[in-house]
Amino acid sequence: GEDVEQSLFLSVREGDSSVINCTYTDSSSTYLYWYKQEPGAGLQLLTYIFSNMDMKQDQRLTVLLNKKDKHLSLRIADTQTGDSAIYFCAEGTYKYIFGTGTRLKVLA
């Protein structure tokens, strides 16, 4: 089957905005998710968006959903060094399919 695609790497300066993109495959997913994984750790749920929404904002995080193009993005405002991690998008209901992951590096 097709992979859920993400760009592999993103580097930003502290204080700038980060935008992480995801192209998903399953248009029947009720929710789409963003998880953060720090080195050696499990997955931390950051946010999720209901499939009938276009946008969701949660403090520094903004999620945009384009269902026509099956494109999901996560914008992190005022990126901090603590945001350095791998970010995974995920689709599915009980069976999650994760994206390939984007490693975000924040430069001080």
Partner 1 sequence: DTEVTQTPKHLVMGMTNKKSLKCEQHMGHRAMYWYKQKAKKPPELMFVYSYEKLSINESVPSRFSPECPNSSLLNLHLHALQPEDSALYLCASSQVPTETQYFGPGTRLLVL
Q: Which residues bind partner 1 (CB under 8 A)?
A: 30-31, 33, 35, 40-45, 48, 88, 93-96, 98-101
State the nearest-atom distance from the C-beta of 97 to partner 1, in Å.
Answer: 8
3-state class percentages of the chain: helix first, strand second, coil last, to nearest 5 = 5, 55, 45
CA 100 to chain centre: 11
Those residues whose C-beta lies under 8 Å from the C-beta of residue 45, and which sit 6 or more positions away, are: 33, 34, 35
State the nearest-atom distance from the C-beta of 4 to partner 1, in Å.
Answer: 8
State the nearest-atom distance from the C-beta of 43 to partner 1, in Å.
Answer: 4
Pick between residue 5 and residue 14 the one whose CB is nearest to partner 1: 5
